[in-house]
Amino acid sequence: MDHKVETLISESEIQDRVRSLGRQIEADYHDKPLTILAVLTGSLIMLADLVRRISIPHRIALIQASSYRGATTVATTLVINESFAPDVANRDVLLLDDILDTGQTLTALIRHLADRGARSVRTAVLLRKIGRQEVPIEPDYCGFTIPDVFVVGYGLDFNDDYRHLPYVGVLKEQEVVRDTQLQDS
C-alpha cells in the first residue's frame, strides 16, 4: 500500500506541544494521586511521549472503548473494556485520547469513571476536530485544533496502518475512497 500522506502537524511541532502539555499537567497535579488513563489504541504514542515529560509520580493505565452502529439504527453503542485499567477509586484521572471528534467517546468514559469512584476526571487530547462535535465537552488539555479532515499518524490510523508516523498527516482522499471500495468488494 503506497498512500500519500500530506503533513499537517510536523514531528517537532508535536514534540514541542507535548512538552508544554506535560509541564502544565505536572503543575496542575502536583501532590495529587494522578492516573493517566489512555484510550486504546490511538493515544499510545502520545502516552509514551507525554509521561516522559511529567516528573511527578503518576500511574499509567489503558482502557478500550469501541463504538458499534446497529444494523437497523443510526444509534451507536460504546463498549468499554477495562481489563487493563486498575482501580481508579479516589484517584485523579486524566483521560488521554488521540482525537476529540463527536465527543461521544470521552463523554461516555467520563461518566463511567465517575461511576467507578474516581476523585476527579479531566481530559487530554492530541487533536480536536472543529465542526464535528455532537456533545458539549471541553477538553482540559488540547494539543492542536484541526479542520474536519481524516488524519493519520502519531497513533492515528487508517485500517490500522500509519500509526507509526512521527507526524500527523492527511491521507489523500482519493486513496481513502479507493481503499474503502477495495475492502467493500
Residues that bind ligand XMP (CB under 6 A): 42, 97-105, 150-152, 156-157
| Residues 158, 150 contacting (CB under 8 angstroms) | yes
Residue 147 CB, shortest distance to ligand XMP, in Å, is 10
Judged by beta carbon, residue 50 or residue 152, the one nearer ligand XMP is 152
Q: Which residue in the block uniquely carries the three cell numbers 463504538?
A: 67
| Nearest alpha carbon to residue 39 among 108, 117, 120, 115 | 108
The rounded Cα 2 to chain-centroid distance in angstroms is: 25
Residue 45 CB, shortest distance to ligand XMP, in Å, is 12
Judged by beta carbon, residue 25 or residue 108, the one nearer ligand XMP is 108
> What is the residue type of 110?
I
Judged by beta carbon, residue 49 or residue 98, the one nearer ligand XMP is 98
101 is catalytic: yes
- List beta partners, residue 127: 99, 144
Residue 55 CB, shortest distance to ligand XMP, in Å, is 27
Judged by beta carbon, residue 140 or residue 157, the one nearer ligand XMP is 157
- Strand 168-171 versus strand 5-9 pairing type: antiparallel
Helical packing angle, 44-51 and 11-28, nearest 10°: 60
* Alpha-carbon distances of 14 from 21, 43, 112, 118, rounded to whole Å: 10, 13, 30, 29
Residue 9: phi and psi, rounded to 5, are -130, 120
Residue 118 CB, shortest distance to ligand XMP, in Å, is 19
Q: Which one of the listed residues 28, 101, 140, 179 is annotated catalytic?
A: 101
Catalytic residue list: 101
